[in-house]
Copies of this chain bind each other. A is one copy, B any other.
Amino acid sequence: MADKNNFEVTPWDVEGNVDYRKLVEKFGTERLTDDLKERIYENADARNLYIDRDFVFSHRDMDKILKDYEEGNGFFLYTGVGPSGPMHIGHIISFKMTKWFQENFDVNVYIQFPDDEKFWTRDRSYDEVEEFAKDNLMDVAAVGFDPDKTFVFKNTEYIGNMYKAATKLAKRINNSVVSAVFGFDSSTNIGLNFYPALQLLPTFFEERRCLIPAGIDQDPYWRVQRDVAPKFNRHKAAQIHNKLVPALTGPEGKMSSSRPRDAIMLNDGPEDVRKKVMERAYSGGQVTKKEHREKGANLSVDVAYQWLKNLFLEDDKKLEEIGRKYSNGEMLTGEVKEILVDKINEFLEEHRKRRDEKGEELKEKMMYDGKLARRMWDRNIDLG
């Protein structure tokens, strides 16, 4: 286990009480400055909660994305999700961020389902991976991407169109690089060891610059992309990073499907949500009511408050009020949690409604029948 002062953020494991300021330094990314935020909003002609609240806080080359956009060259988005279980709130928030960019910049989105990687990483059959993928695809569909400008693909299905280009990438990435970046070693199977080539490839699906909205923990992958891209005379992928959505139990590490009790899953019913938030969400409040009225809550570690702030509560005034009253002891943890429970349930209800009503149809379009999907199935990816 990682020591609190010695946090580890790798694509496969995020632990420790992550200090995002240090992380930006360690990874060498850039803070999303107020100027840049304004420029994003101007071009989007819209504001964004996650950016407003500094949940999306870091980037690489976001300025170049905006320049390309301003000059009429456009860009495209790439994201993905490994089908390894039912999806939780953390997953969907990355997709919502991606959708926000698509909606407000009118650009294409490519979504990879690395079923091969999920098969390789654990003792799991393709039947299991398939089950997860089926379910996850419906959730992704419910996010509301433009079905004619979004292409969703499973690697094992789309490989025929990608393989030759992937072999070109693979030729430029050697074992020592994937060992250093992903921690692969002699016990790693030769499939997983090859996988980075497939993960990087979609950043080259268009000649334009690629923007990847993702957790800061995914940064190492893209550093390999940024090393390799110039060798093909192609753009380094830009990224815009969100913080990790903490587990309910506190700011130690990231929400994970493998700990569903401490995560809000997209299929949690209203009572599940209430129970989890009430019982599991780490509180910054004091132990006794009396003590709490005196000292108030520590907002920075309070999961309910942080979730409201980063993810759910659009109303600035209300957030300010909650923050003030909670930190001075006027509000109790239970009251703040009630607000969060309502917000989450509202969010999930809408999500499930879209999933049930539109999921199947949108999924088919994004995978096979939509405009972009049809174009993608008709072409072989080319890397020159």
Contacts and interface: CB of A to CB of B under 8 A. Distances in A.
Interface string A38-59: 0000000000000000000000
A171 B120 contact: yes
Contacts of A120: 167, 170-171
A174 B194 contact: no
A197 B119 CA distance: 15
Contacts of A179: 186
A356 B159 CA distance: 36
Nearest to A172: B189
A196 B190 contact: yes
Contacts of A178: 190
A18 to B, nearest CB: 29
Given A159-B159, A167-B116, A185 B175 contact: yes
Given A119-B167, A159-B159, A191 B189 contact: no
B171 A191 contact: yes
Contacts of A187: 174-176
Contacts of A184: 175
Interface residues of A, number: 34
A190 B159 CA distance: 17
Contact of A164 (B156, B170, B188): B156
Nearest to A380: B156
A84 interface: no
Contacts of A116: 163-164, 167
A347 interface: no
A225 interface: no
Given A194-B170, A194-B191, A126 B164 contact: yes
A163 B174 contact: no
Contact of A190 (B126, B160, B175, B189): B175
A193 interface: yes
A126 B168 CA distance: 9
A93 interface: no
Interface in A142-175: 156, 159-161, 163-164, 166-168, 170-175
Nearest to A120: B171
Interface string A193-216: 110110000000000000000000
Given A159-B159, A159-B163, A164-B126, A119 B171 contact: yes
5 contacts: A126-B168, A160-B160, A160-B161, A175-B184, A175-B187
Lowest 3 A-B CB distances belong to which pairs? Answer: A160-B160, A170-B191, A194-B194
